[in-house]
Amino acid sequence: MMKTSISFALATAVSFAFASTAFAAPPTKTGTTAKGSVLTDSKGMTLYTFDKDADGKSACNGPCATNWPVLKAEASDKAEGGYTIISRDDGSKQWAYKGKPLYTFAKDQKAGDITGDGFLNGAWHLAQP
């Protein structure tokens, strides 16, 4: 009887462990702004895409990445659904959605701010779900 209970408990624990990894949370959330729904980081800050990025590669490095901080991916993160992980020029990892690398904007002060939309002659856009 005791052996069966331990086996059942172990099987249950293992299935929960697999379930948590199989259904990893996406790296973004959805927020609401004056221009509608947008993707946000975990703090609710608006995410953006950049027209100069191509083929899953970021063109925003150096001073650009200071103004447009990347949505960093950790080594343990896994691509899922429309989300992929790209390698940056400095070797770090960045989240991308539908092939477009994701960034926040340094001048956005609070969740819902969208001051980066249309920046640089329209090259920066709100990332939309």
In a domain, 19, yes or no: no
Write down the mean pLDDT value for the chain.
87
pLDDT for the residue numbered 11: 44
In a domain, 4, yes or no: no
pLDDT in tens, 54-66: 988 999 999 999 9
In a domain, 85, yes or no: yes
Whether 1 shows a pLDDT value over 70: the answer reads no
In a domain, 55, yes or no: yes
In a domain, 92, yes or no: yes
Give the pairing of strands 93-97 and 100-101.
antiparallel
Residue type, 118: G
Q: How many CB atoms lie within 10 A of CB 25?
A: 9
In a domain, 12, yes or no: no
User: Rounded to whole angstroms, how far apart are CA atoms 30 and 40?
Assistant: 6
Domain count, the chain: 1
The parent domain of residue 117 ranges over 29-126
